[in-house]
Amino acid sequence: MSESAVTAMDHQFLSQKPGIQLIKAGTYEKIELNNVLSIPALKSQIIDVPISPLEKPLTIGYFSMQKSEEFEFLYTYLEVKVIIKGQIIVRDEQGNKYIGEAGDVFIFTPETKVIFDAESDGDAIYTAHRLPEPTFLN
């Protein structure tokens, strides 16, 4: 995550009354990751959606990647990523390859470095135990 400070007051959190909320597909426009990660040829998009505030931070989001460039990401928090379309392919630091397909679930634990493979071509939704990353917001 970036060094930018995020506080609970910076966001409109979704965990408010009424008790049931429905987020329709396409509600949130994803941002391009190529500029955020300084990888011009990368074709990947993301958006964070804040759910709950600082005392129990929870963020959901949408992630897409098309065949392009691989990139590394260090998870400093727990994240659960559900593949909803296509394939997301990742590797760990030991070179083990994991191919997630529609319906599969990745669990990334804190202090895990993940390499998102250039052959990935799919969409996912995720839940992360953190406040939203400012660079992943519109």
DSSP string, 89-133: EEE-TT--EEEEETT-EEEE-TTEEEEE-TT-EEEEEEEESSPPP
Termini Cα distance of the chain: 16
What is the number of other CB atoms lying within 10 angstroms of the CB of residue 122? 19
Least confident span in 18-22, 36-40, 77-81, 132-136:
18-22
Give the pLDDT confidence score for residue 11 in this predicted structure.
67
Give the pLDDT confidence score for residue 19 in this predicted structure.
61
Q: Indicate the SS3 state at residue 43.
A: coil
pLDDT-derived band at 41, boundaries 50, 70, 90: very high
Give the pLDDT confidence score for residue 17 in this predicted structure.
56
Report d(CA 20, CA 30) in Å as an integer. Answer: 24
Q: To which residue do tokens 């990334």 refer?
A: 108
Does pLDDT of 1 surpass 70? no
Tell me the average pLDDT of the chain: 87
Does pLDDT of 121 surpass 70? yes
Mean pLDDT along residues 70-89: 95
Give the pLDDT confidence score for residue 138 in this predicted structure.
82
- Of the chain, the percentage scoring pLDDT greater than 70 comes to 83
Does pLDDT of 89 surpass 90? yes
Q: CATH assignment of 29-136, given 2.60.120.10, 3.30.70.1150, 3.40.50.1370, 1.10.287.1770? A: 2.60.120.10
Give the pLDDT confidence score for residue 22 in this predicted structure.
67
Give the pLDDT confidence score for residue 26 in this predicted structure.
84
Give the pLDDT confidence score for residue 54 in this predicted structure.
66
